[in-house]
Amino acid sequence: MIRFEQATKYARAKGIKKPIIENASLTLNRGKSVGLLGRNGAGKSTLLRLIAGAIRLDKGRIVRRGKISWPLGFQGSFQSSMTGQQNVRFVARIYGINTEQLIAFVEDFAELGPFFRAPVGTYSSGMKARLAFGLSMGVNFDYYLVDEITAVGDANFKKKCQALFETKLQEADVIMVSHSTTTIRDFCDSGVVLEKGRLTYYEDIEDAIRAHDRNMKEE
Identify whether 13 is part of a domain.
yes
b/e sequence 105-130, b meaning 16+ C-beta within 10 Å: bbbebbbbeebbeebbeebeeebbbb
Weakly modelled stretches of the chain, pLDDT under 50: none
pTM of the model: 0.87
Can you give the CATH number for the domain in which 61 is found?
3.40.50.300
Give 65-123 pLDDT, tens digit per residue.
999 998 876 566 789 999 999 999 999 999 999 999 999 999 999 999 999 999 999 99
Identify whether 94 is part of a domain.
no
* Tally of domains in the chain: 1
b/e sequence 183-215, b meaning 16+ C-beta within 10 Å: bbeebbebbbbbbebebbebeebeebbebbeeb
Identify whether 50 is part of a domain.
yes
Identify whether 111 is part of a domain.
no
Identify whether 43 is part of a domain.
yes
Identify whether 75 is part of a domain.
no
Identify whether 146 is part of a domain.
no
Which residues, other chains included, contact 203 with Cβ-Cβ below 8 Å and sequence gap of 6+?
Answer: 190
Identify whether 85 is part of a domain.
no
Q: Which structural domain range is residue 213 located in?
A: 2-69+176-217
